[in-house]
Structure 1
Amino acid sequence: MRIGNVELKNRVFLAPMAGVTDMPFRVLCKEQGCGLVYTEMVSAKGMHYLDEKSARLTLLDEKEKPGAVQIFGSEPEIMAEVTEKLNASDASIIDINMGCPAPKITKNGEGSALMKRPEQVGKIVSAVVGAANKPVTVKIRKGWDECSVNAVEIARIAEACGASAVTVHGRTREQYYSGKADWDIIRQVKRAVSIPVIGNGDVTGPAEAKRLLEETGCDAIMVGRGAQGNPWIFKQINRYLEEGVFTAQPTAGEKIDTIIRHMNMLIEHKGERTGILEMRSHIAWYIKGMRDASVTKQKIFKMNDKDEIISLLQDFLLHQ
């Protein structure tokens, strides 16, 4: 799998997810065979105004390369300026977010709101491609709503303006993450452009991944919520695509060991207070479906001490 001049080991990628795909989680997914990781989306305006938090989000660990940094914004000049800064970063690919449905993003004309302004899409992609010394990709949705399904049009504009690949999430902005993803729109985009198309939406396991590839003809798969609490999904999908074999689910012990390691990585990366606060959600995803998960989750969401959480998890493991 190749995007521009970047060679990737496979075609199973981790979607950028705000508050989820930070460096520790990306490293865990990479270890499980993820072909390409993306940072959480980074505000171009934040970087323009030298916001330290925005700048930190662009950092990539040596273990997760090659990786992509995703930026969002609506002003071509600022997007180009930030791209020039990112030319010196460890990112191998620069991705433009045109799919985020969050109101705080769309009310500023950013994220998926850009799909309502095809002309502006062209200006932004052209500006970023013109400033970049690495491949530029674009992540879009099916459209703003069912009355304005224009993924094919936006993908063609992105290609014409120099994008090296496009990711299509098969939901409209109005759907957010509800309902079923429309894979047919991914197939339509694949037929309409010659650059690689990455399919995104409703990939929760190996069988769905294979079906998405077969039904749409897309070049790669992007896994989002299916990876939450489940970095093993990348190994499972890759093995199924390569060998037709279903890999066993991780044992309860493997899950608890990974949770503890993940928490230690987060604490090292962000400090104990922030690391534990953010780890609570990850733990809930990891243990979902296990015996006594609901009660354990409620207890963990009241805890602020690492050792206390580890003790509870070890006790939780004994009852599995």
Structure 2
Amino acid sequence: MEEKNSFMIFSAPIQGLTDPVWRHFHHQVYGGGSVAAYHTPFMRVERGEVRRRDVRDLKSEFNQGLTLVPQIIFRDIKEFRMLCDEIRIAGYSVADMNMGCPFPPQVHHGRGAGILGNIELLREVSAVITAEYGDLSFSAKMRLGVECPDEWRDALAVLNTIPLRHMTVHPRTARQQYSGDLFMDEFAMVLGASAHPVIYNGDIVRPEQIDEVMSAYPGVAGVMIGRGLFS
């Protein structure tokens, strides 16, 4: 687990944008010691195998010199195992579980934010991590829910049993996509209930907003920034 008193800034994964070349040059020009880690756009299983382009992303020569965290999206324990095994083969020891993607086709098939309501799958993931993947270090990125911002409660009870490095929370529902009100009262409750360090994600486009998050929520361990890095 990450130290709670060590504030971190992470680069968020964005499909089609945060590819190896972008990560390389962002790190060279802006990254340095300011960005703790870059996360890959989610790896997924397609037609019974891990997408080849996702594997190429992990093995790209442009990843050299920066800290990279592979992110995985899955709908069942079979997909979870396939993705974790591929991460091992590629030589990585960390993985981030995507429980926040709001894209309707993914949510409809039980991936991304759709996992939040699948408590049995989360229990399976907890057991499999303990029994089979002790050599990998996991984190998670989540929404507050699919339809309602209080759907996180049962999921968090299970996530608290998994030895996560940290948990990134975007305080919206999947239905909201990337606009609408941020449910900061619910975020504060997640922060208080989480057994893991909590990373804030959502609508950070100016540096001073990082200070505002730190001031309003002193227990936050860091921030994850996506679109703000492009602006």
TM-score over 0.5 (shorter chain): yes
Match of 2:116 in 1: 115
Q: How does 1:150-165 map to 2 (within 5 A)?
A: 150-165=151-166
Which residue number in structure 2 is paired with residue 91 of structure 1? 92
TM-score (norm 1): 0.63
Distance 1:168 1:130, change over 3 A: farther
Match for residue 181 of structure 1?
A: 182
CA distance in 1 between counterparts of 2:181 and 2:9 reads: 20
What do residues 80-117 of structure 1 show as CA deviations (whole Å, max 9, x unaligned)?
23212312434342011111111221121111111122
- Unmatched 5+ residue regions in structure 1? 231-320
1:20 and 2:17 equivalent? yes
Tell me which stretches of 4 or more aligned residues in structure 1 moved more than 3 Å. 128-131
State the structure with bigger RCO (CA 8 A, min sep 6), 1 or 2: 2
Equivalent residue, structure 1, for 2:172: 171
Change (3 A) 1:106 1:97: same
Does the 8 A contact of 1:151 with 1:185 survive in 2?
A: no
Q: How far did 1:48 drift? A: 5.2
Q: Which residue number corresponds to residue 100 of structure 1?
A: 101
Aligned counterpart, 2:55: 55
Give the CA deviation at 1:36.
1.0
More strand by share: 2
Of structures 1 and 2, the larger Rg is shown by 1
Counterpart contact for 2:43–2:51, Cα < 8 Å: no
Where does residue 235 of structure 1 map in the other structure? none
The one-letter amino acid paired with 1:3 is E
User: One-letter code of the match for 1:57?
Assistant: D
Residue 137 (structure 1) aligns with: 139
Instruction: Kindly provide the CA deviation profile for residues 133-163 of structure 1, in whole angstroms up to 9, marking residues without a partner as x.
Output: 12111111011122x5222432331120333
Q: In structure 2, list runs of 5 or more residues that go unmatched.
A: none
Identity across the alignment (%): 22
**Cα shift at 1:3:** 3.3
Secondary structure at the residue paired with 2:15? coil
Aligned residue in 1 for 2:81: 80
Q: Deviations over 1:8-43 (max 9, x none)?
A: x96011111111111112223333231111001110
Alpha-carbon spacing, 1:71–1:166, altered in 2? closer, same or farther (3 Å): same
Instruction: Name the structure with the higher helix share.
Output: 1
Query: Relative to 1, partners in 2 of residues 1:57 and 1:201: Cα closer, same or farther, differing over 3 Å?
Result: same
For residue 3 of structure 1, what is the aligned residue in structure 2? 2
Over the residues paired in the alignment, what is the CA RMSD in angstroms? 2.3
TM-score of the superposed pair, with normalisation by structure 2: 0.85
Equivalent pair of 2:117/2:155 in contact (CA under 8 Å): no
Kindly report which structure 2 residues correspond to 1:220-231, keeping only aligned pairs within 5 A, or say none: 220-228=222-230, 230=231
